[in-house]
Structure 1
Amino acid sequence: MPTATGPKKLQDLAKVDRTKVVQQVTTSNGERIATVTLTPDENMLGKVSKEVTTKLDSVDLPEGASAEIGGAATEQADSFNQLYLALLAAVAIVYVIMVATFKSLIQPLVLLVSIPFAATGAVGLLLISGIPLGLPSLIGMLMLVGIVVTNAIVLIDLINQYRQPSAERAAMSLEDAITHGARQRLRPILMTALATIFALIPMGLGLTGQSGFISQPLAVVVIGGLVTSTLLTLILVPVLYRLVESRKEKRAARRANRKHSSQQQTDSADLALAMNSATAKITAPASESTVQGEKPEKSETDLTDKVESKTSKAPVSNDPVVHPMTGQIPSTRRERRTIEEMINKSPKASED
């Protein structure tokens, strides 16, 4: 190796040893990092992430060092959070639409009861089949929100129609409306649910080829949710509806009774006031007649004078005058006097 004093050997200038070093150094934000990657089996990402998290919690790292999980596990966690928000938004939108449709705040809550039971059936079938909860399963849950509520809406809407009078029939009572409505909607609800379940069975069995890792969990969730929600919709929803509406009818009856009693009290008070005023009007003329009876009696001469003066007045006829020849009614006083003179002369001529 050339130097200022001439060529020299490397072993005279430095000590050379063979050691193992990192071939590539990776930094992030000025800090040195090391990445360990692994590829889990199909549909095992959640299970592997849970086990890795458990192992990392039990590892004692040196001071200044830390370990985090990234990659597909982090993306899956973020996707789960977004789907949870989507589920809440879907439930809220369905509730608002049903409030506008039924014009009630309580009845839509009765319909939304079927959603938790659908989730129960979906999770139960996932546990039975051994399929882990993943993104396809949550997408199936999101589908169930609309599918499950449809059956309950069809049932409650018919019951409300039976409780309203129509041209063909009178309004039914609460119990009769629930009985007839559940009987009429039993077959359509079962047929639609069974048709959807049988259509998803091939996907649930994994017979769809390469897309089975997505379609199978989704189909299993929908099948399990439909089975439990359909049975509970036909049993639990009518019971909850009857409890809610019977209390509402009792409150309305109590308000009507209070209003009727107050109206009766008002009517009785008005009647008493009217009777008092009528009694006062009856007694007033009697007192006046007694006062008039005390006046001096008039003489017979005065009475005869009044009778003569009354008889001296000519009677005034209000009958209409008609022309005897033309049958017309006079429009002026002059024509009326002329027609009256003609009528008066005609009897005299007949007498002569």
Structure 2
Amino acid sequence: SFTATSALNADGKTPRLDAQDVSWFVDDTVTKRLLSVSGVGAVKRIGGVKREIRVELDAAQMAALKVAAVDVSRRLKLVQQEAPGGRGDVGGAEQSVRTIATVKTAAELARLDIPLADGRHIRLDEVARVLDTTAEARSEATFNGQTVVGFEVLRTRGAGELDVSAGVRSAVAELAVQRPDIALNLVIDNAAPVKENFDGSMELLYEGALLAVIVVWVFLRNWRATLVAAAALPLSVIPAFLGMKYLGYTLNTVTLLSLALVVGVLVDDAIVEIENIERHLRMGKTPFNAAMEAANEIGMAVIATTFALVAVFLPTAFMAGVPGLFFKQFGWTAVLAILASLMVARLLTPMMAAYLLKPSPHAGAEEKDGAVMRNYLRAVSWCLNHRLLTSLGAAAFFIGSILLVPLLPTGFVPASDRGQTQINLELPPGSTLAETRLLAERARLAAMQVPQVKSVFASIGGGSSGDAFAPGASAEARKATLTLTTSHRNDRSESMAELEAQIRTRLADIPGVRFNVGPPDTGVKMQLVLRSEDPVALTAAAQRVERELRTLQGIGNVSSSASLVRPEIIVTPDFARAADLGVTAASIGETVRVATTGDYDTNLTKLNLAERQVPIRVKLPNALREDLAAIGQLTVPGKNGPVMVGNVASITMA
């Protein structure tokens, strides 16, 4: 995720650009440029504002002219629109026909004549103020307490995260040069832990390969034989890469872990082959004959041991469930590399030995065993002479290992430390964006008391700016997510779990908010299920259990699935009265919605500009939403003219 902020003027205090300009820069310039980067699937703005033309109705003037809010909204759609349709054949050529009935500015819109259903027409500015402004904010973004416009970049499925990250960084750097008046900063880098894991896995792979070669040299004590055996490593890994490409796998943590695990196995077959060839060379044979006879002598044994390893790794590729999604690539990568090592050992190792190895200078002479071999043979001899004790000891070790299994902690994956964690805040239903912002700032200050926390990016509220009907819970202004970036795990002594525990302790002093500390994929360790026929008693019991659990030492992230009651304003039509006056429930609902929040975004009239469309929202001033009496004074169309909502419906709080 990145942030975009305006550079300051010469006074060092006031910004050069306002929030609307910065938001449009993100929506237009940044989005277009980043979507051209290979692998980028979407660019999502966080916070900021959205330009709109607001038609702010005058309730008193509408009542005097007997005009309903819904009439203004409907008629505005009929007058202000751009509609394609029709075909012309002028001059022997075919043309499409398009009806363009649009204005370009808020001032032109204010002077627009609106025809009414009863045959009258009025100018829009007679019943409303027309403002070129920004939509009502439903979300906000801050970085270390400073209001910013954030945007996050989402990659397409299958795209390499590191490649996409590099492309995005390059594109953002270009934009920063083109627009020096806007500061672009990277605040959350999810690709950094991936690169760190990738580099660590590659280091393990290189170290494992080097150590395998050193061990081979120590035991064979022949640099030519060591070279032949070591050649099996790259010659086995490269075919494995080809197989991975065919299967659609990438070089990721799982596949690199698989290769690092089998790197020692890849030289096993070659070591067996080369050691047997060395033995035949000591018999006085030429390298060519020694390679041929030694390879034929142990061919079946090498094949059998290789397929035994395949039998160990291949079943992991067919595991079911979520673990199977991880181990599928793990198992197939290991199998591909092991089978490639078999091909190398059976084909290339004998050929290389035939031409690289030299005849033994001690052919026919009996080679004396070293101290290590003598001790080993002595231990083997003792075990063979005491078979019962050896068998009992092996059985005891096996049974003891099985008995220790229940004592080991279990889990799907070990806890990771990516240098980031999250705080998810949830306020009671009905809380405003301002209240959420205030508590999010308190949570940020509490988290910053932990010295290891370096920065906090907060996404407050949800849904696009001005979209009061965005689907899903993410559109609620009462929720916030704080992403905390900590110092690197190598630069601190505490684990991420310990830091999260410290943060929970500090957040416990903030009243009136539910919070969850930790990434969203944190597993639930324990779940209590309460059942009852009485929903009221069930909710009360769940709240008591939640409060008690929060007091227990060592328990964190206690949350309840019990839904919180959201306050509502209930408009209940009087059907008999409404029928007498020709008012329908649908017209009451539409009137209340249009007057209080405006129409749905998909139905809003648009102001068509050269570079974008600006929505036109018809609504009452925000202050009138605070008064039930004002809602009751709204007028709805009736058969004999507009009727006040309060005359055909009751308005109550619930």
TM score, norm. by length of structure 1: 0.56
Measured against aligned partners, the alpha-carbon deviations of 1:278-311 in whole angstroms (never above 9, x if no partner) come to xxxxxxxxxxxxxxxxxxxxxxxxxxxxxxxxxx
- Closer, same or farther in 2 for the Cα pair 1:31/1:149, shift >3 Å? farther
Matched, 1:227 2:345: no
- Closer, same or farther in 2 for the Cα pair 1:142/1:69, shift >3 Å? farther
Report the CA distance between 1:209 and its aligned residue: 2.3
1:162/1:172 contact within 8 Å kept:
yes
Matched, 1:144 2:262: yes
Choose the corresponding residue for 1:23, options 119, 140, 147: 140
Report the CA distance between 1:50 and its aligned residue: 2.9
- Closer, same or farther in 2 for the Cα pair 1:172/1:36, shift >3 Å? same
Report the CA distance between 1:158 and its aligned residue: 1.2
1:118/1:144 contact within 8 Å kept:
no
CA distance in 2, matches of 1:179, 1:223: 27
| Corresponding residue SS for 2:223 | coil
Partner of 2:310: 197
Alignment identity in percent?
15
CA distance in 1, matches of 2:263, 2:163: 28
CA distance in 2, matches of 1:31, 1:237: 65
CA distance in 2, matches of 1:195, 1:123: 22
Matched, 1:122 2:240: yes
- Closer, same or farther in 2 for the Cα pair 1:75/1:158, shift >3 Å? same
Measured against aligned partners, the alpha-carbon deviations of 1:107-133 in whole angstroms (never above 9, x if no partner) come to 212111111122122212211211222
For residues 33-112 of structure 1, the aligned pairs below 5 Å read: 34=150, 36=152, 38=154, 44=158, 47-51=160-164, 53-55=166-168, 57-58=170-171, 60-61=175-176, 62-63=179-180, 65-68=183-186, 70-112=188-230
2:310/2:338 contact within 8 Å kept:
yes
Matched, 1:243 2:361: no
Choose the corresponding residue for 1:173, options 261, 281, 286: 286
The residue identity in structure 2 corresponding to 1:230 is: L
Matched, 1:187 2:300: yes
Choose the corresponding residue for 2:320, options 208, 211, 225: 208
- Closer, same or farther in 2 for the Cα pair 1:95/1:52, shift >3 Å? closer
Report the CA distance between 1:71 and its aligned residue: 4.1
Bigger radius of gyration:
1
2:270/2:344 contact within 8 Å kept:
no
2:230/2:267 contact within 8 Å kept:
yes
CA distance in 2, matches of 1:35, 1:100: 56
1:117/1:229 contact within 8 Å kept:
yes
1:125/1:220 contact within 8 Å kept:
no
Measured against aligned partners, the alpha-carbon deviations of 1:25-79 in whole angstroms (never above 9, x if no partner) come to 2139x996836265876xx4x5255345435534523325335485442111111
Matched, 1:161 2:273: no
Q: How many pairs were matched up?
A: 225
1:90/1:145 contact within 8 Å kept:
yes
Question: What residue ranges of structure 1 are gaps of 5+ in the alignment?
Answer: 1-16, 166-170, 253-352
2:239/2:337 contact within 8 Å kept:
yes
- Closer, same or farther in 2 for the Cα pair 1:51/1:88, shift >3 Å? closer
1:115/1:144 contact within 8 Å kept:
no
| Corresponding residue SS for 2:144 | strand
Question: What residue ranges of structure 2 are gaps of 5+ in the alignment?
Answer: 1-131, 362-654
The residue identity in structure 1 corresponding to 2:142 is: V
1:122/1:220 contact within 8 Å kept:
no
The residue identity in structure 1 corresponding to 2:305 is: T
CA distance in 2, matches of 1:102, 1:54: 48
CA distance in 1, matches of 2:203, 2:253: 13
- Closer, same or farther in 2 for the Cα pair 1:128/1:100, shift >3 Å? same
CA distance in 2, matches of 1:160, 1:136: 37
- Closer, same or farther in 2 for the Cα pair 1:176/1:106, shift >3 Å? closer
CA distance in 2, matches of 1:118, 1:174: 24
Partner of 2:47: none
CA distance in 2, matches of 1:89, 1:192: 25
Which has the larger share of strand? 2
| Corresponding residue SS for 2:357 | helix
- Closer, same or farther in 2 for the Cα pair 1:51/1:184, shift >3 Å? same
- Closer, same or farther in 2 for the Cα pair 1:32/1:106, shift >3 Å? farther
Q: RMSD of the TM alignment (CA)?
A: 3.2
TM score, norm. by length of structure 2: 0.31
The residue identity in structure 1 corresponding to 2:310 is: I
- Closer, same or farther in 2 for the Cα pair 1:107/1:53, shift >3 Å? same
| Corresponding residue SS for 1:237 | helix
- Closer, same or farther in 2 for the Cα pair 1:116/1:68, shift >3 Å? farther
CA distance in 1, matches of 2:209, 2:336: 19
| Corresponding residue SS for 2:282 | coil
Measured against aligned partners, the alpha-carbon deviations of 1:145-193 in whole angstroms (never above 9, x if no partner) come to 111101111111111122224xxxxx33323321221011211111122
- Closer, same or farther in 2 for the Cα pair 1:161/1:48, shift >3 Å? closer
